[in-house]
Amino acid sequence: MGIRVGVIGAGAWGTALGHLMAVQDNEVIIWAYEPEVAEEINRHHENRTYFPGVELPGNFRGTADLAECLKDRELVFSVAPSHAVRSVMTQAAEHLPEGVPIISASKGIENETLMTMSEVLEDVLPIVYHPMLAFLSGPTFAREVAQNSPSLASVAARFEKVAEDVQQKVSSLTFRLYTSTDVAGVELGGALKNVIAIAAGAAAGLGMGTNTIAALITRGLAEMSRLAVKRGANPLTLAGLSGMGDLVLTCTGPLSRNRTVGQKLGQGMKVADIVKDMRQVAEGIKTAKSVYNLARREEVVMPISEQVYRMLYEDVPAQEAVAALMKRSLKKELY
């Protein structure tokens, strides 16, 4: 017997998660910021705006009313873009059911406060909801999940039983979850890899080869781990699905929006022109600013992330950013 699922956020990833739950015979309601997207889902059984080409089953419907989305739900996904999570979940707070898992699947760090999504949610939600928060991250392109390509991810919660409950409710024959209690590690891996993916895309846009991409992935993981450990994460988490797994995916996969942004930077486009042509959010653009400021605050050396910030916010050409990395003073590898 299925359960009642609410999904907050009708972008590609929110739609894919809703689809994942609906094909397991659960009743799914997804909240869309734009009423026309909700109407599109109900009328055409397809999210033509953000996730075209994927048929949505009859037990999957849309709404522009948060109260309707959340009424009597037994599982809730929070999948708004990271910069919108604070405002959206503040509005959702009065409608959230108590005692059910709330799964954050947004990846990013808030620009203004430098808070992760767990910190944002604990800031805006009443304390009664805090024990039920869980955080999902891993190498999961939305379209491949919807196409039933076998996919794996991590779900972290401060209470192991909450993570295990989510694992049981969400896992399927094509989507397998592993549990963790390392919220900081799972969250930061999912956010930081988007910044490194922009760097990998820039290298590809410059015509550089696989040596360069492999180096960026490896050294990118090193700086991701440094910041995550400084914030209390287990370094082994960064070697797992939400760290190395997601990093490899977004640095090499053609469906990666962040890699695409980097590739266009490498080809000489300005970030304003790149964003203008994008319908969906590339989280790494905003996260790069947060990571730059967070690394400075925490006194963590993150040279690749710093050069991504400079490409995005100081108009430093990609070739110059690569040169700056190669000219750095020579180091020991385990630094």
* β-strands 133-137, 151-157 pairing: antiparallel
Which one of the listed residues 71, 161, 169, 193 is annotated catalytic? 193
**Distance (Å, whole) CA 137 – CA 238:** 11
**Distance (Å, whole) CA 207 – CA 77:** 39
Residue 229 structure tokens? 């450990």
Task: Let me know if 71 is a catalytic residue.
Answer: no
**Distance (Å, whole) CA 63 – CA 41:** 9
For 156, phi then psi, to 5°, come to: -115, 140
* Distances, alpha carbon 328 to alpha carbons 18, 219, 226, in Å: 46, 13, 18
Q: Do 256 and 203 meet the contact criterion of CB atoms below 8 Å apart?
A: no
The distance in angstroms from the start CA to the end CA of the chain is 52
**Distance (Å, whole) CA 260 – CA 137:** 20
Residue 197 structure tokens? 């993916």
**Distance (Å, whole) CA 305 – CA 307:** 5
For residue 106, give the nearest of 272, 281, 294 by alpha carbon: 281
Q: Which residues are catalytic?
A: 193
